């Protein structure tokens, strides 16, 4: 059995653990397996840049962050209507698959990468995928690997900001990744004891943020920690067109939502604010124990799908159990935080402000 394997999109902790899970299960359950690792994501498949992996390549990588295969962003802008360049790339991948006489392609990736995987599957390739992202925004799975490690890093940042915020009686904004969704910010904000949590799914009101800061001051709490998702948006900005928003954001100190809010609070009420952006640190370093376990188990399940020739699926977690979902049901969708989500209710019950106008 010949397997092609690639990691695509932004990296995250425990990608190596997941690949190890797939490989170990395959080597352990069949004598006849060859794994071709494509380098730097789909790019390696397009340019035929690959490495025939040895069993040892998958040893000693359980605790390593990043990806031993390298990665790159998905190669198509408009995957559903690929232009000539896009069509050539798809043709290149199909050719590589056929030239190598692969039985299956295993793809570890997030939202964008699943569009390409679904397209290849539609074109007749056997594809099995694993959900990878720190954003936890992949449709059809309750959890992706990478997410839990990123929560730990973002939470540690909030923890560390707490001591300096308390010493200086300051307001701090910690800007947290998550692309267009608030999963990472909600989880790390609750874990880190943030006082205000701002997520893209609930546009925030600047006056409400100020009110919360003032209310805390009146209660004798001299510092405030705001956990803010990188995709968060104010209720005023939510009314603007994409073009207007782009223009407006040019006027702020840095092209970051945290600096925008900091400037707004300063302008409105002379509020002194400090901003901390952990950035790609959230995707780096050693995976957490729970993430390693999750990634390994997802890897085992993916190998099971390959061995059973159950192609065209992504391994997913549904109602806490391992399952599978057809690629076409995953591709092109984003799992947003529903405003009725219990996390929202629980955060507000704790007295955390989500910046909604009272």
Annotated binding site for substrate: 133-135, 170, 177-179, 230, 274, 280-283
Q: Which is nearer to ligand F6P, 175 or 301 (CB)?
A: 175
Q: Which is nearer to ligand F6P, 179 or 187 (CB)?
A: 179
Among 110, 182, 192, 355, binds ligand F6P (CB under 6 A): 110
User: Using CB under 6 A, which of the segments 130-138, 235-243, 295-303, 340-348 binds ligand F6P?
Assistant: 130-138
What is the widest separation between alpha-carbon atoms in the chain? 70
Q: Which is nearer to ligand F6P, 134 or 158 (CB)?
A: 134
Q: Is 237 one of the annotated active-site residues of the chain?
A: no
CB of 178 to ligand F6P, least distance (A): 5
Residue nearest to ligand F6P (CB): 177
> Which residue in 135, 137, 152, 291 is the catalytic one?
135
Can residue 178 be called a binding residue for ligand F6P (CB under 6 A)?
A: yes
Among 22, 118, 134, 354, binds ligand F6P (CB under 6 A): 134
CB of 280 to ligand F6P, least distance (A): 6
The answer for 52, left when phi > 0, alpha when psi is -120 to 50, beta otherwise, is beta
The answer for 247, left when phi > 0, alpha when psi is -120 to 50, beta otherwise, is alpha
User: Using CB under 6 A, which of the segments 34-42, 46-54, 129-137, 303-311 binds ligand F6P?
Assistant: 129-137
Residues ≥6 apart with Cβ < 8 Å to 306? 1, 3, 22, 26, 103, 104, 106, 128
User: Using CB under 6 A, which of the segments 13-21, 131-139, 232-240, 314-322 binds ligand F6P?
Assistant: 131-139
Q: Report the alpha-carbon distance of residue 181 to residue 121 in Å, rounded.
A: 27
CB of 217 to ligand F6P, least distance (A): 32
Residues ≥6 apart with Cβ < 8 Å to 225? 158, 161, 162, 165, 172, 174, 192, 193, 194, 195, 196
Binding-site residue ranges: 10, 73-74, 110-113, 133-135, 170, 177-179, 230, 274, 280-283
Sign of CA dihedral 23, 24, 25, 30: positive
Task: Supply 24's token pair.
Answer: 């170990």
Phi and psi angles of residue 49, each rounded to the nearest 5 degrees, phi first: -100, 100
Burial of 146 (0-12, 13-18, 19+ CB in 10 A): buried
Residue 174: strand pairing partners: 227, 276
Binding-site residue ranges for Mg(2+): 111
CB of 246 to ligand F6P, least distance (A): 17
Neighbours of 319 (CB within 10 A): 6
Q: Which is nearer to ligand F6P, 69 or 100 (CB)?
A: 69
Please report, as residue ranges, which positions from 239 to 298 form the binding site for ligand F6P (by CB under 6 A): 283
Binding mask 198-237 for ligand F6P (x = CB under 6 A): --------------------------------x-------
Q: Report the alpha-carbon distance of residue 358 to residue 338 in Å, rounded.
A: 19
Binding-site residue ranges for ATP: 10, 73-74, 110-113
Neighbours of 355 (CB within 10 A): 24
User: Considering CB under 6 A, how many residues would be counted as binding ligand F6P?
Assistant: 10
Task: Supply 251's token pair.
Answer: 């006027």
Nearest to 177 by CA among 133, 209, 112: 133
Binding mask 5-34 for ligand F6P (x = CB under 6 A): -----x------------------------
CB of 320 to ligand F6P, least distance (A): 24
Q: Report the alpha-carbon distance of residue 244 to residue 229 in Å, rounded.
A: 21
Q: Which is nearer to ligand F6P, 112 or 304 (CB)?
A: 112
Task: Supply 166's token pair.
Answer: 């308390």
Query: Using CB under 6 A as the criterion, which residues of the chain lie in contact with ligand F6P when the complex forms?
Result: 10, 110, 133-135, 177-179, 230, 283
Q: Which residues are catalytic?
A: 135
């Amino acid at each position: 059995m010949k397997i092609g394997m690639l990691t695509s999109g932004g990296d995250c902790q425990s990608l190596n653990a997941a690949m190890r899970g797939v490989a170990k299960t395959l080597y352990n359950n069949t004598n006849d397996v060859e794994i071709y690792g494509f380098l730097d994501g789909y790019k390696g498949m397009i340019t035929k840049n690959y490495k025939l992996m040895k069993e040892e390549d998958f040893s000693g990588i359980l605790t390593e962050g990043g990806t031993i295969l390298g990665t790159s962003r998905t190669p198509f802008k408009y995957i559903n209507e690929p232009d000539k360049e896009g069509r050539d790339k798809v043709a290149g991948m199909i050719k590589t698959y056929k030239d190598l006489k692969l039985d299956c392609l295993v793809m570890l990736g997030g939202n964008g990468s699943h569009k390409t995987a679904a397209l290849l599957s539609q074109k007749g390739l056997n594809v099995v995928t694993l959900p990878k992202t720190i954003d936890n925004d992949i449709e059809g799975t309750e959890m992706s690997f990478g997410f839990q490690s990123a929560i730990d890093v973002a939470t540690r940042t909030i923890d560390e900001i707490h001591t300096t915020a308390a010493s200086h009686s300051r307001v701090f904004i910690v800007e947290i990744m998550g692309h267009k969704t608030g999963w990472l910010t909600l989880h790390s904000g609750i874990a880190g004891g943030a006082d205000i949590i701002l997520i893209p799914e609930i546009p925030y009101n600047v006056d409400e943020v100020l009110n919360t800061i003032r209310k805390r001051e009146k209660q004798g709490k001299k510092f405030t920690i705001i956990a803010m998702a990188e995709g968060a948006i104010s209720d005023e900005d939510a009314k603007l067109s994409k073009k207007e928003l782009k223009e407006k954001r040019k006027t702020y100190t840095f092209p970051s939502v945290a600096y925008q809010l900091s400037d707004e609070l300063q302008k409105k009420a002379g509020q002194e604010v400090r901003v901390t952006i952990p950035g790609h640190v959230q995707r780096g370093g050693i995976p957490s124990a729970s993430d390693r376990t999750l990634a390994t188990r997802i890897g085992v399940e993916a190998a099971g799908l390959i061995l059973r020739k159950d192609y065209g699926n992504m391994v997913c977690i549904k109602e806490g159990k391992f399952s599978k979902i057809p690629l076409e049901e995953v591709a092109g969708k984003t799992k947003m935080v529903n405003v009725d989500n219990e996390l929202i209710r629980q955060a507000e019950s704790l007295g955390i402000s989500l910046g909604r106008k009272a």
